[in-house]
Structure 1
Amino acid sequence: MTVSREQLGGSMVALVTPMHADGSVDWQSLERLVNWHVEQGTHGIVAVGTTGESATLGFREHDEVIERTVEIVDRRVPVIAGTGGNATDEAIRLTRHAQRVGADASLLVCPYYNKPSQEGLYRHFHAIAMAVDIPQILYNVPSRTGVDMLPETVARLAEIDNIVALKEAKGSIERIHDLIEHVGDGMDIYSGDDGTAMESMLVGGKGNISVVANVVPNLMSRMCDAAVRGERETAERLDAEMHGLHSALFLEANPIPVKWALQEMGWIEPGIRLPLTPLADHFHSHVREALQGCGLFDNDAR
């Protein structure tokens, strides 16, 4: 394994893939964003997760974003490569490439649209783990995939050595409790839902793979540190500062609002790929107010 479980966790940003207005990848902005996150204390970078528009990047682009992110990070923090897919062979191919170019771990979303059974989910992730020995983080997000990987299935997968964690985005603290009870020390549980991330960590979760961290990396990092340590008062104070972002950045499908926010902050150009479209005009004031509530606007976050 490239990294241990202990080296993963905390605030892991689900990084957007910056694009020019014509939709092509903006490599210069990618470098600036990655360096900013490392400087601001982000504990790990997720490259080409679903927030990074993995569904609309071609294989070559997908591979290159991961490779360049690894190069820019230069071992300063772990790089977690988004390598999931709804075809098992495709996910294996992406995961092999990520390992080859030096990613520290992979993030594998549950297969979407085809709605596999619990046995199908188990066999899918088992096949990837057997094919590629990189540390693997599974990702359950029923609202986007149409399938919910149940704690019993997760517990079976926790017995596989290189499956080290689960990103759980159901948004339920009860589910987090249930998962921790089922997996014991077999794997770590991360939140994939910013609105419930603090409570998830206070009850035993080990980190947050975050959309909100894209715009407030230092604040999210400090909140995660406090929550993982069980420091409720500090975690609640820091989380309250991000309260507006937890809702505003999900007014439309992720990553539409967060890319608009980063554009407003001066970090990226207004590039996003169809079928996603730019943030609707009537949401602009809501997102802007949430940014202002965190003391962020234009270039102030730099």
Structure 2
Amino acid sequence: MWPNPCKSESIRLSPAERCGIIAFALAILLGAVDLHLATVPLTLLVMLCVVAPFLPRAGFFFPVISRGTTGRSRVAITFDDGPDPATTPRLLDLLEKYRVPAAFFVTGRRAAVYPHLIRAIIDRGHEVGNHSFHHNKYRMFWQPGLLDHEIAATQRALAPLGIVPLAFRPPIGITTPAMGKVLAARNLFAVNFSCRAFDAGNRRIGRLSRKILTTVQENDIVLLHDSTPHTERSIEPWLNEVEAILKGLSEKGLASIPLSRLIDRPVMRRKDGMTS
């Protein structure tokens, strides 16, 4: 039985909770000297809570996996925002050509419209994770019930295909205080990333491979996208960039392995009982 990090860590204080305790303790001590000074640690705490959601690797509010633990020259490649009929099939062919496994964090809306692409992803030996239903980054800040609906709707969209995601990646990597409890209730855990090209969902594909290959390190979780670039004419250049990444990783001595192996826990379960 694989532990849920959100649950296993629930008895420990999160960084946010520890910072809160320290901030309030300092406020009390400083307030005894000067009431104006008491506002300093509280203001810093508020600023930290405002910035933390946009730091994908922070894990400030609850545990977030953003790197592997192999201790070896390994990386995992992940693709967000699909599946897409214009790009995903060609991407699958490219991954098969180089024998590279990947994890696809799909939206429930697209999974419901293109179930055959989800089947193709699984049939090619790749993994599937939950990336919310609508991919609305603002919904990550809504009340927990709406966030839960986004996650649950994607689970339901994938269930008829025999897939039960165990890993959730929030849109744009945004995390919020409520998200940890929602994920724990659904027996999911959060996976973000440690290497990305800031491609804005394939709207900026120029020098994509260069940005990845100059920053990638062992145990990185690499973030890419398989959504259609801003114009269909950009699909071929995008595929060339992805191919350059696959070649470049191999040349750097970094083996691409399944995300589940890199983080040493399954990211999905199949209805037949198999995990991956």
TM-score normalized by the length of structure 2: 0.39
Higher relative contact order (CA 8 A, sep 6+): 2
Tell me which structure has the larger Cα radius of gyration.
Answer: 2
